[in-house]
Amino acid sequence: MGEWNCYCALCSTPLGGFILFGSKKPKHLAKRRKRVAKKQAGENPSDVDGESEGEGEGEDVDGDVEMEDAESDQRSGAEQEEEDPSSDEDFDPEQSEASSDWDSEDDSAEFSDFNEDGEISDVDVERDPSEVEESDVASIWSSEGEVEPKIWGPHQSKEDQDMFDYYEHHSYDPFVLSGEDVKWLSRGRCLAFNSEAPGISKVFISGRGTCDSFGYFKSENRSFDPNADEDAEEWPCYNSYDADKQISFPFHETCYKIFARNLFGEPDFRRIDKDALYSAMEQAIGRPRSLDLYYGDFDGPEQFWECYQGEEYLVFDPARSLRLSENLREMLPAQLFTPSATMPDLAHQVKNDPFGKLPYDVLYMIFPRLSNNDIFSLTKASWFVNSITRSNDVWKRLLNTRIFPWFWEAKDFFEETALLGDFDYKRTFLGLNMISTPKIGLQGPWMGIANRRRIWNACNQLKEIYRNFSPMDDNTKSTDDEEAQDIMTSAISLQMPMVAYPKPNRVSKTVSTQWIKSWSDVYSRSCAFETYWHNSEDEAKVTPEASSLRGIGVKFGSDERGFNYPKGDREVWGSRTVVIDENDWIKELVVHIRNIDMLTIAEDRSHISSSSEILQYESAFIMGVTIVLKSGIRHDLYGGEKPWAGLNQRAFIASEGHSIVGIAGQIGENNIIATLDILQCIHNGWEPPEPPYLTPSEHLLWASQATKLPYPSIPSTATIPIWNHPTLSMSRFSEISHRYSIPLQMLPYQALLWAPTPSAYHDLTAISAFCVNVCVGEYDHYGSELKCKAVIPDIIGLRAEYVDEGETKYREIGSGGPVPFMTDPKWREGLQQSDEGDFSLNPTPNPEPWCAFNTQRFEIDGQRGEVVTSVHVAEDAKAIKLRTNRGRECYWGEVEQGSWSEMETESGEGRVIVGLAVCFGELGGWSWKYKGNSHWKTASVSVLSMPSEEVGSGSGHDV
């Protein structure tokens, strides 16, 4: 995997990346500044290198002064050189575009120098580092974990001599920037998503950190955001190769405050709606390393950050003041306080001016939609526009709308300065516009302002997207009802899992709907529970998406409280409604979700080069809803004419002492519900014994098989969902470390109870695994397998077998085959025998389900008291081991696994292992010929246990 840098979402510059400074020798500075001048003129800067062949090569670079302390003031370069400038025959101060001394009075800019086109030459203004005021970041952000920027000085080792010219072209001028100027780059954080945050909001700001070279933001510093995931220390930026990890967006603290000013006119970033901003950034993704925004014309943010000469302003701290008020005062000429000379009236010479027909109000409506340069061009193209824009009011308005929002120091200066009525606002606007325009070779005190302006323009673009997400949902607006406010304030969300795959486009921020506004709603009022489905009579028969849930809510009398209810004519939506009687209420909400089909091949795959490019054949949505009431009444609602078979289920259950008071989630394109969770609140006057929490089974999506587990305490024909089983406990192993296919949230678990009760071990005779042998081979340049180097068994199914005379002969989960890798030659076409000997894949000509060759059977002597006492799972669930109380063990899956996790129960602990919960969620059996996968294999394993009871006697331990 290659390396790359990720950049700030708001300014597209690095976070904690190294900043390279060039040589300080006068002859190198002279050539550097010639190259910058060439770039400013639109010419080829490499021509400078050709003026004196070999000047940059083979130089005694050891003679350069090393910049050991990049934070020291570096404004007087000649005094810091070890060599006398006069000894450097190539150094010509007159040819240097930017003098290393910034104290030349001749270079100070006069506002009177601005002409009608706003043109002025670059200026260098002295700044006194002792008077620089750093932005008070520590007063708002935590200063813990300060990350110093990596500042590299001139390269002086002999290994660098051949690269000297390259480094000089890809480094910054040491007399234009200092270490203090770039320190802000190291103050980075990221905006990340935590689906298990306790509140409705799920987005948080991380601790201070930096981006690594593999697309992750890393922070070992604690975040003080209540939504933060305390166990996480890294988050993928912009893209995630791990389907179970949500993406994040890195940013500089300074840029975040600038965005707050852009939104609210003040730097209080606490007012930013983090969920809305996260959704806006997610929608603005269009590049692998930054957002799809226009950040300006520069070359820095490539695969790695390049420090191009002349682009120093890009990394200059946009929050540093640098004596701006003093500089403005010195630059203001007396002419601005006197009226401009009266221009002659040339109207009689205008032959045709189409703009002269426009009413004044229309023209003033056009101005805000034009850029500054377009306004200048228009005033030169039209005498009518030129004449009506001589008024100070026009330019005062432009200053207030185009300059002062991001140049607040100038705004404060003019507010504190006594200005006469004849003050020339037009030349002021032209002047401030020009000195703050980002451009190649910019130096002096305006670098930070130019960089701020550039960032502000990017924030303007993001703000337009942010505004689409920031308005509060109709059902979350504040209310005057104090009880309703108290309920919603106390409401919590314990998780917000995905309920649709693939993730829909244009996902909204988290929105919520309050169902219970008074506790009397629960105890003394009946209501209608309503669902809306995107379907029609014809579509529902053939299209799963057409039968998917679009809206869900309740209705008390005429008070409708709907989540994502359809707008406009609801007749085109299918609706299903049931009545909830007074003094009854929902205690459990279950959504039914279709399986994700990744194995069916129905499209041309000739262009596909790897399994990661495979798209699902059928998408997954909510296609059914079940509510279980406190009275035990159960209602099943579906969008189609009848329930779809084999739907997976996810349960949202109110914790003890809590009531469901609403619902929250995210909405995607076409009104698809992307994520969902219930909102629950403590009953009025109740004191729960412990805080609400999710049981392991409530964290997961379950196959329909796991919703019908046998339970002896109820009639033998009845079953119970795993999340309602009163004695069953689940212990989870760690998940796959890097998942490149489908999020685990959307993959169902299946439950194999080989002993529905501990005493049922008596009838157990064997536990088996069905394994499909696949190849690991060598590949040619075209991606075809040539030789099989190893055979790896994929676990694709598990089975429990019982005594012949029992009512149940076997229970099984997963697949017992046959699968294409066993039967279809396309999956093995191109394979050759290894030079090291024969290999045997799946030789059975016409395999049956659970055929002997692929079934690895582990016999259990249940009648004599043998029970499973420990389960071992290899890393990434590639292998499973079971061990019994007789010391016997079995091994299924990939051999020679070195990293194992173990769960063990003994009879003395009071529990006994009675089964496994397994997610067959990793694609296996890739075919280069067919460009598809053959089967699902194990992705995650959990242990199921129950309280022990005497299960028999034998040579093993009694349980």
Tell me which residue of 931, 929, 243 sits closest to 611, measured CA to CA: 931
Question: Does residue 410 surpass a pLDDT of 70?
Answer: yes
Mean per-residue pLDDT over the chain, rounded: 80
Q: In sequence order, what E strands does 100-139 have? A: none
Query: SS3 of 94, please?
Result: helix
Q: With contact defined as beta carbons under 8 Å apart, do 306 and 170 qualify?
A: yes
Tell me which residue of 308, 319, 333 sits closest to 447, measured CA to CA: 319
Give dist(CA 673, CA 503) in Å, integer.
10
Confidence of residue 645 (pLDDT cuts 50, 70, 90): confident
Quickly list DSSP for 851-913.
-TTTEEEEE--GGGT--EEEEEEEGGG-EEEEEETTS-EEEEESSS---EEEEE--GGGTEEE
Question: Does residue 54 surpass a pLDDT of 90?
Answer: no
Per-residue pLDDT tens for 816-852? 989 988 887 777 655 544 444 445 677 777 889 999 9
pLDDT at 846: 80
272 vs 256, 261, 263, 567, 579, CA distance in Å?
A: 9, 10, 8, 28, 40
Q: Average pLDDT of 226-254?
A: 91
Residue with token string 């003080």: 224
Q: With contact defined as beta carbons under 8 Å apart, do 16 and 149 qualify?
A: yes
Please report, rounded to a whole number, the percentage of residues in the chain having pLDDT higher than 70. Answer: 76
CB atoms within 10 A of CB 121: 8
Q: Average pLDDT of 700-724?
A: 86
Question: Does residue 779 surpass a pLDDT of 60?
Answer: no
Contact partners, residue 717, CB within 8 Å, separation at least 6: none
Tell me which residue of 32, 34, 93, 27 sits closest to 60, measured CA to CA: 27
pLDDT at 379: 82
Residue with token string 């598809």: 932
pLDDT at 347: 57
Rounded to the nearest angstrom, the gap between the alpha carbon of residue 337 and the centroid of all alpha carbons in its chain is: 52
Give dist(CA 241, CA 216) in Å, integer.
11
Confidence of residue 95 (pLDDT cuts 50, 70, 90): very low
Give dist(CA 180, CA 780) in Å, integer.
52
Query: Which is more confidently placed, 345 or 842?
Result: 842
Q: Average pLDDT of 336-361?
A: 64
Q: Average pLDDT of 22-46?
A: 87
431 vs 119, 124, 725, 871, CA distance in Å?
A: 8, 15, 75, 75
Which amino acid appears at position 304 of this protein?
F
pLDDT at 298: 85
DSSP secondary-structure letter at 912? E
CATH number of 484-694: 2.100.10.30
pLDDT at 929: 76
pLDDT at 585: 97
pTM: 0.78
Per-residue pLDDT tens for 277-310? 999 999 999 888 899 999 998 876 788 888 999 9
pLDDT at 873: 92
Q: Average pLDDT of 257-268?
A: 94
Query: Which is more confidently placed, 354 or 550?
Result: 550
Please report, rounded to a whole number, the percentage of residues in the chain having pLDDT higher than 90. Answer: 44
Question: Does residue 909 surpass a pLDDT of 80?
Answer: no
pLDDT at 222: 87
Per-residue pLDDT tens for 126-185? 333 333 333 333 344 544 555 555 555 544 444 556 678 788 888 999 999 988 999 999
The count of C-alpha atoms lying within 13 angstroms of the C-alpha of 496, restricted to the half-sphere facing its C-beta, is: 29
The tokens for 56 are 């940059």
Exposed / middle / buried, residue 686 (Cβ in 10 Å: 0-12, 13-18, 19+): exposed
The tokens for 787 are 């030789």
Confidence of residue 872 (pLDDT cuts 50, 70, 90): very high
The tokens for 853 are 């060759």
Question: Does residue 100 surpass a pLDDT of 60?
Answer: no
Contact partners, residue 352, CB within 8 Å, separation at least 6: none
Question: Does residue 855 surpass a pLDDT of 70?
Answer: yes
Tell me which residue of 880, 939, 498, 873 sits closest to 740, measured CA to CA: 939
Question: Does residue 958 surpass a pLDDT of 60?
Answer: no
CB atoms within 10 A of CB 845: 6
Question: Does residue 472 surpass a pLDDT of 70?
Answer: no
Tell me which residue of 458, 169, 185, 445 sits closest to 310, measured CA to CA: 169
Confidence of residue 673 (pLDDT cuts 50, 70, 90): very high
Give dist(CA 758, CA 912) in Å, integer.
7
Across 326-340, 348-362, 866-880, least confident range? 326-340
Give dist(CA 199, CA 495) in Å, integer.
9
Question: Does residue 13 surpass a pLDDT of 90?
Answer: yes
User: What's the CA angle centered on 378, arms 374 and 382, to 5 degrees?
Assistant: 175
Query: Which is more confidently placed, 768 or 128?
Result: 768
Give dist(CA 383, CA 355) in Å, integer.
9
Helices (H), 47-154: 77-80
Quickly list DSSP for 655-699.
PTTEEEEEEEEEE-GGG-EEEEEEEEEE-TT---SS-----GGGG
pLDDT at 457: 96
Q: Average pLDDT of 492-509?
A: 91
pLDDT at 470: 83
Domain ranges for the chain, please list them.
1-64+82-100+134-320+450-471, 321-449, 484-694
Tell me which residue of 219, 241, 214 sits closest to 232, measured CA to CA: 219
